[in-house]
Structure 1
């Protein structure tokens, strides 16, 4: 599974307007809804916020991968957002997060969900990938970087 196969270009936000964790989740949810408008925004946000209560999905090194499972979904959906100024996401290393992948999976597909999470985490372990995504100016450029780097992993 490649990230570029599950992340539609329209679900990429080149510069998040968010200033808080909740606002990040709202913006990334809205990006998902552009691709999957049948999802219930309120329910999706509720699922993501509940997951964050268990422990932050800010994994450090400027990365956060908020995720959750929801019914009424037939396939994995992903959105991406970038904040050049950084947002406090209560990350493990205490530093602001800059790169965000939101991952939403169908309620009954744990294996796919975990594989996608692992793939995104592996992808973002690369300092080169993080730097390139941090410097990209547009949605198109971010999508192209993800496609190019996806082939390496």
Structure 2
């Protein structure tokens, strides 16, 4: 997880009025510290995948993901939406925790492995509860680092 997530790509108090706006915000977080890819390219990748079906996995969690050519390694960003938002989740719960994942175009196996690990992490009720209660971005980052498989 440490190679995937940087503290600058964690935001604990985000607000969005739509799934599209959420993906824009996550693209901006993914762009932080990189300087190589534009948020527009990242957003297009996330949106393209989301159009195939919702990436909400239930229990108030979504894991939007996309691929980008020329990306040297997978990167992630985490956003917390305390008010919740409609993400077309199968369980119809509002999404409050969003982990966006961006992988190199050619990394199919790694992509699936990372998604499985994230799904396992966010399937744990205590992890979700701790993330929702965290008082700062730093605390959110610490929780993710400590709890990641």
What TM-score comes out, normalization by structure 2 length? 0.96
Q: Residue 48 of structure 1: CA displacement?
A: 1.2
8 Å contact kept, 1:84–1:98: yes
Unaligned 5+ runs, structure 2: none
Q: Residue 72 of structure 1: CA displacement?
A: 1.9
Q: Which residue of 1 aligns with 2:67?
A: 69
8 Å contact kept, 1:33–1:41: yes
Q: Which residue of 1 aligns with 2:39?
A: 41
Segments ≥4 residues shifted beyond 4 Å: none
Q: Which residue of 2 aligns with 1:50?
A: 48
Instruction: Encode CA deviations 1:75-121: one digit per residue, 9 max, x unaligned.
Output: 00100000111011111111110100000000001111111111110
Q: Which residue of 1 aligns with 2:12?
A: 14
What TM-score comes out, normalization by structure 1 length? 0.93
Q: Which residue of 1 aligns with 2:106?
A: 108
The structure in which a higher percent of residues are helix is: 1
SS in 1 for 2:88: coil
Q: Residue 22 of structure 1: CA displacement?
A: 1.0
